[in-house]
């Protein structure tokens, strides 16, 4: 296991160039790692071109003795999918790691095939010439199935690790990872206790048929037996609030359980980057943790100094 180097992590508030601010806010691409996170490559049963695929995991552990309740937090897209250089950037969220570590939870950020240091081809729904993500519902949803298969490998691996408490696990994430987490929990309803969805969606509602991709997929998550938490920001350039709310309504109508919270981002920021501002969601997440099944969570929580 490799301890990630201590480097300066570019934070949104410290950016001097507007395009960099917008880029990092929209897509949540971490530039460097913090002191407490580790990166490793795990073996899987996936194979491509006769080769075994390894997947990268970035792990942030809390203080204290294991095993820990564990959150699997998935990455999103790379924006439009048009820049292959972005595929190899490892993604994790300092804000999520810090919040959950304070609550006594370990956080694992898996990198799916072709992302970060993971092996294989990044192929989650591209146009035929791979110039970007496709709005074709069939090809796009096929890419989602590929992503779900990757998460299967990660979950199977984690449930066997001694530092993971397999009876206390959650899944969640941002953007594409958010919808992926809802779908995964609904189609594997016994795997997790909770789901956290930050501004989730698979394809922007600028596509002519977002309901055939996003809404259909969110309905698949309705079989998850526990409450889910949906956090969406105003002025999201990818998913309008009306579209996201309609996805939630379809999820509820299909039998899902959840709470939808609308967050107003700070001035100068758009709603797709609310994950960077924990002051906007900290209380909502803390309340959600207290509602999870298999309580009491308090025995895992460590107090702040």
Domain ranges of the chain: 2-300
Which CATH topology does 2-300 take? Rossmann fold (3.40.50)
Q: Are 69 and 104 in contact (CB under 8 A)?
A: yes
Separation of alpha carbons 213 and 250, rounded Å: 13
- Sorted by sequence, the CB contacts under 8 Å of residue 198 that are 6+ apart come out as 172, 173, 174, 175, 178, 231, 274, 275, 281
User: For the segment 218-270, what is each residue's pLDDT rounded down to a tens digit?
Assistant: 999 999 999 999 999 999 999 999 999 999 999 999 999 999 999 999 988 89
Tell me: the pLDDT tens digits for 141-199?
A: 999 999 999 999 999 999 999 999 999 999 999 999 999 999 999 999 999 999 999 99
* Assigned token pair, 52: 């075994």
Q: What angle do CA 105, 108, 110 make, to 5 degrees?
A: 165
Mean predicted lDDT score pLDDT of the chain:
87
Kindly give, in sequence order, each residue whose CB lies less than 8 Å from that of residue 61, ignoring residues fewer than 6 positions away.
36, 38, 68, 101, 106, 163
């Amino acid at each position: 296991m490799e301890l990630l180097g201590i480097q300066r992590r570019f934070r949104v508030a410290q950016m001097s160039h507007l395009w960099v601010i917008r880029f990092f806010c929209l897509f949540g691409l971490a530039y460097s790692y913090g002191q407490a996170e580790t990166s490793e490559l795990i073996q899987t049963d996936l194979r491509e071109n006769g080769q075994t695929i390894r997947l990268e995991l970035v792990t942030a552990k809390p203080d204290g003795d294991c095993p820990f309740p564990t959150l699997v937090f998935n990455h999103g897209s790379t924006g439009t999918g048009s820049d292959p250089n972005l595929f190899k950037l490892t993604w994790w969220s300092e804000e999520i790691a810090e919040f959950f570590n304070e609550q006594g939870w370990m956080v694992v950020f898996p990198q799916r095939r072709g992302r970060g240091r993971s092996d294989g081809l990044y192929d989650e729904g591209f146009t035929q010439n791979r110039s970007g993500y496709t709005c074709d519902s069939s090809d796009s949803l096929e890419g989602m199935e590929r992503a779900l298969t990757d998460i299967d490998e990660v979950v199977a691996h984690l449930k066997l690790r001694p530092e993971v408490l397999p009876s206390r696990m959650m899944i969640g994430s941002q953007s594409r990872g958010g919808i992926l987490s809802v779908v995964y929990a609904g189609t594997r309803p016994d795997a997790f206790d909770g789901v956290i969805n930050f501004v989730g969606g698979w394809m922007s509602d600028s596509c002519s048929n977002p309901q055939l991709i996003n809404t259909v997929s969110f309905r698949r998550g309705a079989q998850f037996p526990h409450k889910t938490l949906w956090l969406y920001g105003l002025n999201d350039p990818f998913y309008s609030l009306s579209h996201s709310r309609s996805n939630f309504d379809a999820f509820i109508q299909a039998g899902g359980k959840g709470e939808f919270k609308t967050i107003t981002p700070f001035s100068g920021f758009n709603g797709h980057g609310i994950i960077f501002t924990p002051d906007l969601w900290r209380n909502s997440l803390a309340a959600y943790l207290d509602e999870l099944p298999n309580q009491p969570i308090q025995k895992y929580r460590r107090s702040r100094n």
